[in-house]
Amino acid sequence: MAKISFPAPAIHNPAPSWHAPRSEYVVLWHGCTERDKDSIEHGISLAHCAVNTDFGRGFYTTTIERQAEHWALGRLEDWQRKYPGLPNRAVKLRFRMRRYAAQKRPAVHERGMDTLKSLAFVVGDFHYEDYWSVVQHCRQSLPNVVPDHRRPPGQVGGGWYDLVSGPVAAFWRQRVARDDSDQFSFHTPAGIRILNALIHEGVSGHPDHYSWGPV
C-alpha cells in the first residue's frame, strides 16, 4: 500500500524564526514618562518603587511592547492630574538582557537571568493558589511603614527573590488576571545592578543593550 503523505498545515500568522539572538537574549520593556526616564538613567532606585504592587516593591518590566506603552500612558495621565501644565510625555524603555551568561566572569551588563534567584508563575488562573497567594500578600503591603510593612515572600533561608515573573493581576481581590500580559519585576540590588549596567552601556552609545523612545 502506498504511503500517504499530508502537507504541513499552513501557519497564517507565522512568528519570527527562533534564531540565536532569541536563544541568548530577552527584550524587556518599561513604560514611564520622560521625566521618569531621566531619573532612571541616573540609576534605578528601589526606594522610589511602590510597595503594594503584584510582586511587591520592585522595578517592573514586560516582554510585551504594547503593554509598556499602556503603562506609560497611564503614568502620564497620573502626572498630568498631579502637575497640570508641566510638560512631559509618555516613553518606553527597552532593555536587552541575557538569558544566561556566556562566559565565566562576564561584565555586569553581560550577566544573565540565570545568575538571579527567581520565582516564575506561568498562569493566573483563578485556582492557581501559589500565584494569588503572593499577589494578595504583596497587594496588601502597607506603604511608608518600615520595617513593619509586609514584604514579598523570600527564598528558603531568607532574603527576597531577585526576579519574579508571571501574569499581571487585573482585579486581585477577585483573582482575575489580564489576558495577553506578563511582568518581570526586579526586587534586589543584584537585578537592579544588571539593569543599571545595561542603561550605562546604552547611554554610552550601545543602543542594543538599552534604548528608549516616545509612545
Within-domain flag for 11: no
Within-domain flag for 155: yes
Q: What is the pLDDT of residue 89?
A: 98
Terminal alpha carbon distance of the chain: 61
Q: What is the pLDDT of residue 102?
A: 82
Within-domain flag for 18: no
Within-domain flag for 126: yes
Within-domain flag for 72: yes
pLDDT tens per residue, the chain (215 residues)?
Answer: 666 776 777 777 888 888 878 889 999 999 999 999 999 999 999 988 988 899 988 999 999 999 999 999 999 999 999 999 999 999 999 999 999 988 888 999 999 999 999 999 999 999 999 999 999 988 887 765 544 334 555 555 557 899 999 999 999 999 999 999 999 999 999 999 999 999 999 999 999 999 999 99
Cα–Cα distance measured from residue 166 to residue 204, given in angstroms and rounded to the nearest whole number: 32
Q: What is the pLDDT of residue 158?
A: 59
Domain that holds residue 103: 25-210
Name the grid cell of 203. 547611554
* Total domains, the chain: 1
Within-domain flag for 206: yes
CB distance 160 to 58 below 8 Å: no
Helix, strand, coil shares, percent, the chain, to 5 = 30, 20, 45
- What's the order of all strands across the beta sheet hosting 59-61? 59-61, 183-186, 163-166, 118-120
Within-domain flag for 1: no
Q: What is the pLDDT of residue 152?
A: 55
| This prediction's pTM | 0.88
Within-domain flag for 3: no
